[in-house]
């Protein structure tokens, strides 16, 4: 299974800057088979632009959130059907920033994952502990609880999700879990997936805590780290391409 390197632009971007970034990515991939599968998850207003620029390239695209509702009076929400109109392959659900700043619960994240899967969109389900939870020794309990809610909701479709472990204390802080720390949690998640689906090997488990061009190779070399959910480094074409290139050959 090839690694998956997915960029999360967060609330960044502008039409001109997006075009320059994506054209640099496309140029950097010219005549080269990427070492990993690639995707960028972008703010909803830019999905049409990204679809136009990336169609026919090796880079897939997705959204940073999806509504748990099908349609209706939910002002400001973006439905899965709307994302399908822009050929989104992925939708991030349960990112720590959504959980922290928007009060998203495990149950809501699970409902969003279920909604995405029902429309043929792969949810990138984020789990992870805060610094206080890690220092209290609760890391495994927290991530297993977060994943269990999704497994309960999507049931036999569990093997169709992408999972991202993002230690909250390492997001945007410049701090990174050591390869050994990250591998330990990924192995815990893999074991939980093994109990829930006959095909746990189909699930990419990404690492999402300040992976960059410098530390990517050591993280991606771990047996249960199947790629990265990349924040700041995904806004720089050269850095993003270097992370892709750091992926071990299959």
Local structure of residue 246 (DSSP, 8 states): T
The catalytic position among 129, 166, 186, 204 is 166
The answer to whether 90 and 45 are in contact (CB under 8 A) is: no
Question: Among 26-30, 75-79, 176-180, which is the least confidently predicted range?
Answer: 176-180
pLDDT category at 175 given cuts 50, 70, 90 is: confident
Domain 4-245 has CATH 3.20.20.70: yes
What are the sequence ranges of the domains in the chain? 4-245
72 class by beta-carbon count within 10 Å (0-12 exposed, 13-18 middle, 19+ buried): exposed
- Residue 2 pLDDT exceeds 90: yes
Active-site annotation holds for 166:
yes
For this structure, is 97 an active site residue? no
Question: Is it the case that residue 208 has pLDDT exceeding 90?
Answer: yes
Mean pLDDT score of the chain: 96
From 95, 97, 129, 186, the catalytic residue: 95
Percent of the chain at pLDDT exceeding 70: 100
Minimal CA–CA distance to 99: which of 149, 156, 38?
149
Residue 9 has pLDDT above 80, yes or no: yes
pTM score, whole prediction: 0.97
């Amino acid at each position: 299974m090839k690694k998956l390197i997915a960029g999360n632009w967060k609330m960044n971007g502008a039409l001109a800057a997006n075009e320059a970034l994506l054209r640099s990515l496309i140029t950097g991939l010219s005549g080269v088979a990427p070492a990993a599968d690639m995707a960028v998850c972008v703010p909803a207003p830019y999905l049409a632009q990204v679809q136009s620029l990336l169609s026919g390239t090796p880079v897939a695209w997705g959204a940073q959130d999806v509504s748990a509702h099908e349609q209706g009076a939910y002002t400001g929400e973006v439905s899965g059907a709307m994302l399908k109109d822009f050929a989104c392959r992925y939708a991030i659900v349960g990112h720590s920033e959504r959980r922290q700043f928007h009060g998203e619960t495990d149950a809501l994240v699970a409902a969003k994952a279920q909604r995405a899967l029902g429309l043929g969109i792969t949810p990138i389900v984020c789990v992870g502990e805060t610094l206080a939870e890690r220092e209290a020794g609760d890391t495994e309990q927290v991530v297993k609880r977060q994943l269990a809610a999704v497994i309960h909701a999507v049931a036999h479709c569990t093997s169709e999700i992408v999972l991202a472990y993002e230690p909250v204390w390492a997001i945007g802080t410049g701090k990174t879990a050591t390869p050994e720390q990250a591998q330990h949690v990924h192995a815990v998640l893999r074991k939980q997936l093994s109990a829930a689906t006959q095909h746990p090997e189909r699930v990419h488990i990404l690492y999402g805590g300040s992976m960059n061009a410098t530390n990517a190779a050591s993280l991606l070399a771990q047996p249960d780290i199947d790629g990265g959910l990349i924040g700041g480094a995904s806004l720089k074409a050269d850095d993003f391409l270097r992370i892709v290139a750091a992926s071990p050959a299959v």
